Chains A and B, each alone.
Chain A
Amino acid sequence: MNKIEVITNKCTGCTLCVKSCPYGAISMQQVEHELESGRKIKNLAVIDLGKCTYCGSCVEECKFSAINLEKDKIEISEEMKSYKNIWVFAEQRHGQIAPVVFELIAEGKKLAEKLNVKIAAVLLGHRIKNKVDELISYGAEIVYIVDDPVLEEFLDEPYCEVLSWLIKDEKPEIILMGATNIGRSFASRVATRIYTGLTADCTALEVDLKTRNLLQTRPAFGGNVMATILTPRHRPQMATVRHKVFKPLQKDESRKGEVIEKKYDFTNSKIRTKFLEFIKDTTAKVNLAEADIIVSGGRGVGSAEGFKLIEEFADLIGGAVGASRGAVDSGWIPYSHQVGQTGRTVAPKVYIACGISGQIQHLVGMSSSDIIVAINKDPEAPMMKLATYSIEADMFEILPQLIKIIKQEKGIS
């Protein structure tokens, strides 16, 4: 068992550890005690073991080395050592590979080189064999493919069954998936079935060469803190990863790769889900999650009509249209455009916020964007303070000007 304790004669009652604990597990209690120096102290840090996750934040924070943490030594078993290679789940919808797959192949390849193993893509679907070359040209050294009519549409049950079976057969060390709706839905089913760890929505990955552990960093508590998570005792290690965190490799058609085609026997499968129909979203010209540029509107847009201007500007600069909860709840734009805590989390290169005040629930969904531009009549709005560039102006006056200037530059009349 992990052990953590406060060394009474070193604790000065300074409360630094209380503030450092992300789980609220440390409190100051009135316990009179004496330091090694003989000084009398009134308060003592007390750790609630029911809340403590032994993360070590307090140990690092304590200036007096008053907290002792002993973590279990984890034996790396022979069984764990038999797992090799890094897999990327090559998510495809209607024959289109999700862009995040190429980003993950690039990052997975870096990690694979460090671990001296291979990077493989796993392609599941029907009539998808023509996608194999694309995966190889983006850097996959091995492509596993299961092509079957049962896999034509994404359903959690058969996809989970096939991937779990492949994992048992081939024993990959690490599996990366895009943090898409599909990835997040069925990765969890797979991890639960094969009993391994899964870390959601990672934004940074690294490997520890000694233990071969994947260090998975993700935002926690609404993006206010970052947590690095390990799966030390189980293999494979699974993670879903956000879009746009990593850059894909240049496509190179001269790359070579091994193709391994597998057949799965579905005769005894439990598939209790049936696909009936797909309805394409025609309101979104650019996929919000994958967009490099997002132009987003809030309550300040004022009406559904107002969003036409946002759309015009977004179209012109090749961006997607986002919205705050206020705008969605007012019925000006569909929910699929909502950015923030109850909508999507996005991290584009540029996020242009028009008439969005910047409530915390919205900020947690977009504050990791590279550049934030805020346009607002209220100079005191939180978004204006956070933004890389802020402009105190009425969006209905400045957007038409921006459109005019950019059109002139592009030579569009």
Chain B
Amino acid sequence: MHILVCIKQVPATTSVQIDPKTGTLKREGVESIINPFDEYAIEEGIRLKERVGGKVTVITMGPPQAESALREALSRGCDDAILVSDRSFAGADTWATSYTLAQSAKLLGDVDLIICGKQASDGDTAQVGPGVAEKMDIPHVAYVKKVIDIKPPQSNHQGTINVERMLEDGTDILEMTLPALITVVKEINTPRLPTLKGMMAAKKKQVLKWNKETIAAEEDKIGLKGSPTQVMKIFYPPARQGGERIFGKDVTEMAQKLVEKLHSCGIL
């Protein structure tokens, strides 16, 4: 089984803060982390490998510094890492990102399962996973909360994966033939921490570096040029103003006052 995990390096949300003076994003000293959802993708890849054998390759599209995210994934137990990086990928929207990742995955050739986090914490679109599946012409299930069963491909069997999909009203149980793609939610597992041994091993490993030529990307399908969407403007919503503290001599009085407030807002 060859499992490919797609990850993204994102700013640590805790450090994305608004400068109270200027009302703008503070950028200085923002730490970069692996997208929190991708940690579950990495963990699930490793668990499935432990279950059925094979190897886990981790891949990211990003600037050169995204290599540190790949190193961290290696230290958690991924076998190989690929950094897909090129100046001309800059400004890619989800369409161009899906294309670039799919071109890279096709180059690997023998991928049986692709795992992505359900979305990235900076973009919040949840679009790249399904987009990669479409570009690869493989099936996908998004919002997977459990892999019930996986049967690797054999000479007489194509291989299948059975999963639980989280929806608003409950859970669907679905089966896909391999190769396939899943995007995973937090509930699927508890990611392990990197071990010292893993970190040492990760240091020695080589991170493959691919650019637009390596993946034979068509110039007009990558980066800003290949992106159907364009950012027209960015603006800062007015910061939420703090409200009113409700006081009272005891909880009964405070409760009474709150009920009145809720009534006056047309609630209850």
A residues sitting closer than 8 Å to B (CB atoms) are 2, 16, 18-22, 24, 49-57, 60, 93-94, 153-157, 160, 180-182, 184-189, 191-193, 195-201, 215, 219-222, 224-234, 270, 272-281, 287-290, 292-293, 317, 335-336, 338, 341-343, 345, 349-350, 359-361, 364, 367, 371-373, 379, 384-394, 397-398, 401-402, 404-406, 409
**Complex contact B174–A293 (CB within 8 A):** no
- Specify which of A181, A222, A231, A341 lies most central, judged by the most chain B CB atoms within 10 Å of its CB: A181
**Complex contact B142–A19 (CB within 8 A):** no
In the complex, the chain B residue whose C-beta lies closest to that of A72 is B230
- Complex CA distance for A160 and B124, rounded to whole angstroms: 22
- Complex CA distance for A230 and B243, rounded to whole angstroms: 35
A221 contact from B16, B170, B227, B230, Cβ within 8 A? B16
In the complex, the chain A residue whose C-beta lies closest to that of B135 is A192
**Complex contact B166–A225 (CB within 8 A):** no
**Complex contact B234–A93 (CB within 8 A):** no
Shortest CB distance B252–A (Å): 5
- Complex CA distance for A67 and B154, rounded to whole angstroms: 60
How would residues 63 to 91 of chain B score, 1 for a CB under 8 Å from any chain A CB and 0 otherwise? 10000000000000000000000010011
In the complex, the chain B residue whose C-beta lies closest to that of A270 is B137
The A-contacting residues of B in range 140-162, CB under 8 angstroms, are: 140-143, 145, 162
Given A225-B236, A229-B230, A373-B258, A198–B174 Cβ distance below 8 Å?
Answer: no
**Complex contact B232–A230 (CB within 8 A):** yes
How would residues 214 to 245 of chain B score, 1 for a CB under 8 Å from any chain A CB and 0 otherwise? 00000000001001111111111100101111
With an 8 Å Cβ cutoff, the count of chain B residues facing the other chain is: 93
- Specify which of B176, B235, B242 lies most central, judged by the most chain A CB atoms within 10 Å of its CB: B235
Task: List 12 other contacts, CB 8 Å, given A60-B233, A221-B11.
Answer: A56-B233, A156-B141, A185-B140, A191-B131, A197-B95, A222-B124, A228-B232, A273-B175, A278-B170, A341-B13, A350-B262, A409-B268
The A-contacting residues of B in range 6-28, CB under 8 angstroms, are: 11, 13-14, 16-19, 22, 24-25, 27
**Complex contact A222–B251 (CB within 8 A):** no
Q: How many A-B residue pairs have CB under 8 A?
A: 299
B residues sitting closer than 8 Å to A (CB atoms) are 11, 13-14, 16-19, 22, 24-25, 27, 30, 36-37, 63, 87, 90-91, 93-95, 98, 121-131, 133-135, 137-143, 145, 162, 165-177, 180, 183, 185-187, 224, 227-237, 240, 242-246, 251-252, 254-256, 258-259, 261-262, 265, 267-268
Shortest CB distance B12–A (Å): 10
- Complex CA distance for A342 and B119, rounded to whole angstroms: 9
**Complex contact A317–B176 (CB within 8 A):** no
Given A93-B167, A385-B242, A160–B231 Cβ distance below 8 Å?
Answer: no
**Complex contact A402–B228 (CB within 8 A):** no
Instruction: Return chain A residues, CB-CB under 8 Å to B22.
Output: 16, 19
**Complex contact B175–A349 (CB within 8 A):** no
**Complex contact A371–B267 (CB within 8 A):** yes
**Complex contact A189–B131 (CB within 8 A):** yes
Shortest CB distance B230–A (Å): 5
- Complex CA distance for A62 and B128, rounded to whole angstroms: 34
**Complex contact A49–B177 (CB within 8 A):** no
- Complex CA distance for A197 and B232, rounded to whole angstroms: 14
Instruction: Return chain A residues, CB-CB under 8 Å to B267.
Output: 292-293, 317, 349-350, 371
Shortest CB distance B240–A (Å): 6
Shortest CB distance B32–A (Å): 11
A181 contact from B123, B138, B167, Cβ within 8 A? B167
Given A156-B140, A350-B267, A361-B14, A390–B244 Cβ distance below 8 Å?
Answer: yes
B134 contact from A50, A160, A275, A372, Cβ within 8 A? A160
Shortest CB distance B125–A (Å): 4
B231 contact from A55, A180, A379, Cβ within 8 A? A55
**Complex contact B228–A195 (CB within 8 A):** yes
- Specify which of A229, A290, A384 lies most central, judged by the most chain B CB atoms within 10 Å of its CB: A229
Given A201-B125, A341-B36, A390-B243, A22–B25 Cβ distance below 8 Å?
Answer: yes
Shortest CB distance A388–B (Å): 4
Given A24-B27, A231-B228, A390-B244, A350–B265 Cβ distance below 8 Å?
Answer: yes
**Complex contact B231–A402 (CB within 8 A):** no
Query: What are 21 contact pairs spanning A and B, CB under 8 A?
Result: A16-B22, A20-B24, A52-B91, A53-B91, A189-B140, A192-B131, A198-B95, A229-B232, A273-B141, A273-B175, A273-B176, A276-B162, A277-B172, A279-B171, A288-B168, A342-B36, A373-B258, A384-B245, A393-B251, A405-B256, A409-B259
In the complex, the chain A residue whose C-beta lies closest to that of B37 is A342
